[in-house]
Amino acid sequence: MREFQRGAAVRLHILHHAAEEEIHGAWMTEELASHGYRISPGTPVPDAAPAGG
């Protein structure tokens, strides 16, 4: 359950920033690290683009 909550928190954080501005992987990795999350460049994240483009 804890891993699910952690994943949900990371995804929510990513979507929060994506809703405000265009984000890039390297910046987002640093942003998440500043909050104590450690993800690798290969970690899948939600696609912030609307369906269909």
14-53 pLDDT tens trace: 899 999 999 888 888 899 899 888 887 776 655 544 455 4
Looking at residue 45, what is its pLDDT? 57
Count CB-CB contacts under 10 A for residue 52: 4
Residue 4, CB half-sphere, CA atoms under 13 Å: how many? 1
String of b and e for 2-33 (b: at least 16 CB within 10 Å)?
eeeeeeeebeebbeeebeeeebeeeebbeebe
Looking at residue 16, what is its pLDDT? 93
